């Protein structure tokens, strides 16, 4: 260990020395035995500095031999390392709140905070200690009190590990997580849900993606909860199907003939192959634009799309289908009756049924059970219809893993997950999930009966 008392740097003296102090074990008043000094690096923006902390050493006459000795070091300097708790908390905040890597935080400590001996392994140790000090049970209990009633669940894979996260999307907080090896099974998900239930979580609505890990277990653990299938992931599946529809329409465009060997045609004569190639190029460049929501299109993209539809009329039918699907889950679709009516308009449209490649997408929309789970959010006034919130939290975890290549051990992963979980506390006035009036809720059954 470096002897900080011998360094030629700015030094400060801190600490108070009292003649007596209460024993931390038995509470009896103990006389001071001697005075000692400890030295700590202190973060500074101007120059390297060391704090000399003088403290009294005490021997309690009442405690056993192994517990007699204690010191009166101030709280901000009660650490095993040669850095004050302020220095440790500053470096941990760079990693936890400012998304720095361990190496980057250590470099900031050396170059900006003038902690010349700071190493990345030291910051990693602080990070682990801070993560292990997180009271996960206290965080979950606080989350239960402010729980909105909606829970979103998603899993992420990181090397040989998996992480399942449950979040409260309406309040923007993480509730809990589960770390395991390999890929999660339904038994793993059941254990995770049961632990949440034991804490006190009884959600009214649970949002997941299309994974088959959740529906069966969810119905078993929380039979009164409604399962919302993520609308975003459903539309993403539809878009993957529609790429085949675009390819089928594109392949029906006239293809330019392969140029024959020999002398090319004279200049000035019409080149039909060049015109066909240009048409195919203009149509091809809108292959992603045609699947975008209308509100996300720029004026330039709208002009490109209109030109492509004029050159390839089949794209007009495809674009109309895309807009109809987005309208099906748009905020303007206010209740189950309106949602069902729009679904039937799509399924009964002759143009859609005649377009080559749309069979797979129409089959998804005909699935009554799937559509019921896709529209559960209509039973509530403010429900989130996607599982994007836990997915965003998982992306943050993945980004951290990419820059924290050291955080691969079980202990380091737990520390990082704990620190990420408590990063956003429950708001003082949490949002609650609000049900719609009964007439809106039963509108779906009325529509079905009709």
pLDDT at 442 over 70: no
Confidence of residue 308 (pLDDT cuts 50, 70, 90): very high
| pLDDT at residue 60 in the model | 84
pLDDT at 440 over 70: no
| HSE (side-chain half, CA atoms, 13 Å) at 10 | 10
User: Do 12 and 29 form a contact (C-beta atoms < 8 A)?
Assistant: no
Query: Which residue did the predictor score with more confidence, 275 or 108?
Result: 108
C-alpha span between 394 and 401 (Å, rounded): 10
pLDDT at 170 over 60: yes
State the average pLDDT for the chain. Answer: 85
| pLDDT at residue 87 in the model | 87
Query: Of all residues in the chain, what percent carry a pLDDT higher than 70?
Result: 87
C-alpha span between 176 and 167 (Å, rounded): 7
Across residues 156-178, what is the average pLDDT? 92
User: Do 371 and 343 form a contact (C-beta atoms < 8 A)?
Assistant: yes
pTM: 0.79
User: Do 161 and 181 form a contact (C-beta atoms < 8 A)?
Assistant: yes
| Sequence-ordered list of residues with C-beta below 8 angstroms from that of 395, at least 6 positions apart, any chain | none
- Most confident of the ranges 25-39, 67-81, 273-287: 273-287
Query: Of all residues in the chain, what percent carry a pLDDT higher than 90?
Result: 49
pLDDT tens per residue across span 338-351: 999 999 999 999 99
| pLDDT at residue 359 in the model | 92
Query: Which residue did the predictor score with more confidence, 405 or 103?
Result: 103
| Sequence-ordered list of residues with C-beta below 8 angstroms from that of 207, at least 6 positions apart, any chain | 150, 151, 152, 153, 169, 228, 229, 230, 384, 385, 386, 387
pLDDT at 404 over 90: no
| pLDDT at residue 10 in the model | 59
């Amino acid at each position: 260990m470096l002897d900080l008392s011998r360094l030629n740097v700015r030094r400060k003296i801190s600490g108070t020395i009292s003649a007596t102090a209460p024993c931390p074990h038995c509470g009896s008043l103990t006389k001071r035995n001697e005075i000692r000094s400890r030295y700590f690096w202190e973060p500074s923006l101007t120059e390297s500095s060391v704090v000399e902390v003088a403290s009294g050493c005490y021997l309690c006459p009442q405690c056993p031999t192994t517990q007699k000795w204690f010191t009166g070091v101030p709280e901000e300097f009660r650490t095993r390392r040669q850095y004050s708790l302020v220095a440790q908390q500053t470096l941990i905040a760079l990693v936890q709140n400012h998304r720095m890597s361990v190496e980057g935080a250590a470099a900031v400590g050396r170059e900006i905070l003038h902690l010349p001996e700071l190493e990345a392994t030291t910051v990693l140790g602080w990070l682990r200690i801070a993560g292990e000090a997180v009271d996960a049970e206290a965080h979950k209990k606080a989350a239960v009190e402010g729980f909105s009633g909606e829970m979103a669940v998603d899993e992420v894979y990181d090397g040989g590990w998996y992480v399942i996260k449950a979040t409260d999307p309406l309040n923007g907080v993480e509730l809990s997580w589960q770390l395991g090896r390999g890929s999660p099974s339904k038994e793993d998900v059941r254990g995770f849900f049961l632990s949440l239930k034991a804490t006190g979580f009884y959600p009214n609505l649970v949002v997941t993606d299309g994974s088959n890990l959740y529906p069966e277990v969810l119905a078993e653990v929380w039979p009164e909860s409604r399962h919302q299938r993520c609308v975003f992931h459903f539309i993403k599946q539809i878009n993957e199907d529609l790429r085949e529809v675009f390819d089928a329409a594109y392949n029906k465009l006239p293809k330019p003939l392969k140029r024959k060997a020999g002398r090319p045609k004279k200049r000035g004569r019409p080149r039909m192959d060049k015109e066909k190639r240009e048409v195919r190029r203009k149509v091809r460049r809108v292959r992603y634009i045609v699947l975008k929501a209308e509100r996300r299109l720029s004026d330039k993209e709208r002009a490109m799309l209109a030109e492509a539809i004029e050159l390839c009329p089949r794209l007009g039918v495809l674009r109309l289908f895309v807009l109809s699907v987005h309208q099906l889950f748009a905020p303007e679709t206010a209740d189950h009756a309106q949602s069902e009516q729009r679904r039937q308009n799509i399924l009964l449209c002759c143009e859609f049924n005649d377009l080559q490649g749309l069979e797979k997408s129409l089959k998804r929309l005909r699935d009554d059970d799937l559509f019921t789970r896709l529209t559960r959010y209509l039973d509530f006034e403010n429900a989130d219809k996607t599982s994007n919130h836990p997915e965003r939290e998982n992306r943050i975890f993945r980004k951290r893993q990419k820059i924290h290549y050291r955080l691969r051990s079980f202990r380091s992963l737990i520390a990082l997950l704990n620190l990420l979980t408590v990063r956003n506390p429950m708001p003082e006035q949490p949002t609650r999930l609000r049900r719609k009036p009964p007439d809106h809720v039963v509108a779906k059954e009325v529509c079905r009966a009709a």
